[in-house]
Amino acid sequence: MLLLKASIRANSWQFAIIGVYFVGASIAAHVYGFSISFQIYDYAFFLFGSAIVVFSFSATALRFVIRNKPERPLYASARHIAESWNLRERALIGLPVTLILPAFFSVFTSVKYAIPTMRPFYADPMLIRWDRGLFGTDPWRLFDRLLHWPLGLLAINFVYNLWFIIMMSALFAAVFMTSRHALRRRYISTFLLTWIVLGNIVATAFSSVGPCFLSREYGLHTFRPLMDLLVQANKIVPIWALDAQGYLTQASDRAFIGAGLSAFPSLHVAVATLNCLFAFAIDNRLGYLGAIFLAIILIGSVVLGWHYAVDGLASLATVSLIWFLPNTAAIARIGSM
């Protein structure tokens, strides 16, 4: 009973945020005439979650067996995992949020896919002017040497693709965290607000597609030189961003995994910022790695043609603001009293 109360206390604010979001998304879908799906990510989330659990348990068991060399390694390592991981408490604390997350991401993608239905793309020329006002030129031109170095682009694209794995790993680590309840609540609350506020609300207000889709959506060839450089590099090494960009332009009458075009603000940079802050809250050394990863994601978002520089800068500033807001801190403290 005590653990059940602790589970409710630990997750009440997260479910309140998600509940309000679901209602708001349903109202928007009714008003603008698009469909909401709650099941887009069910299978993918189950597969990735299972992979994280198997990898974590296997790594823990292997380390235990190597150090202790028990006579019955399977039984001993299973018992060690159950005791050291405090599985009962972690399950009661983490599973309620974990089970609702596939529906949350599915609703998010449904709304993101409908952005041009709610507000046709218009903001790209304005974002280009902001970039040029800040940097004196299109920011991708500041990375000319990198864009003429195929192996460098390959490395940037590889790290950029790690974003999803790192995001999900950090999310699972936070959701099942039992030792630092306030940090857990702050992370999850900021994570949810980041996707809702930046990924849906602000993205709709500044409806935009980004450099790689500018020609397709506007008939403007402003970033043709950048895309030509990526195509040239792709003849030497794989530039997976080009395949991903092609995937997002496929025709469909409903949302699919990863669907929807949205440049401003950058969720890649937003989540990398959040994970950097989370890492610093755990350990400074981990935080420095998070800062390096954030810098690569910010650069990658520009040189791979996904975003304008202001997309990432806006995300960095906004997520930091949400993380340090007094209300977010107050939410984090609820339940620890």
**Do 274 and 320 meet the contact criterion of CB atoms below 8 Å apart?**
no
What pLDDT shows up at residue 146? 95
* Alpha carbon separation from 336 to 15, 183, 329 (Å, rounded): 17, 11, 12
Give the contacts of 258 (CB within 8 A, at least 6 positions apart). 109, 244, 247, 248
Angle between helical axes of 267-282 and 150-175 (0-180°, round to 10): 60
pLDDT averaged over every residue in the chain:
90
CA distance linking residue 41 with residue 112, whole number of Å: 14
pLDDT band at 5 (very low <50, low <70, confident <90, very high): low
Q: What is the pLDDT of residues 44-60, one digit of tens each?
A: 888 888 888 888 888 88
- 201: its two tokens: 């609300």
Percent of the chain with pLDDT over 90: 67
Q: What is the pLDDT of residues 120-166, one digit of tens each?
A: 999 999 999 999 999 999 999 999 999 999 999 999 999 999 999 99
What pLDDT shows up at residue 7? 66
pLDDT at 297 over 60: yes
* Alpha carbon separation from 155 to 37, 146, 162, 168, 241 (Å, rounded): 35, 10, 11, 21, 12
Residue appearing with tokens 């889709």: 213
Q: Quick one: average pLDDT of 238-259?
A: 88
DSSP string, 244-300: HHHHHTS--SS--TT-----SS-HHHHHHHHHHHHHHHH-HHHHHHHHHHHHHHHHH
pLDDT at 188 over 70: yes
What pLDDT shows up at residue 4? 54
Is 0.85 topped by the overall pTM? yes
CA distance linking residue 143 with residue 300, whole number of Å: 10
What pLDDT shows up at residue 328? 56
Torsion angle of C-alpha atoms 197, 178, 50, 87, degrees rounded to 10 = -150
Answer with the residue of higher pLDDT: 77 or 159.
159
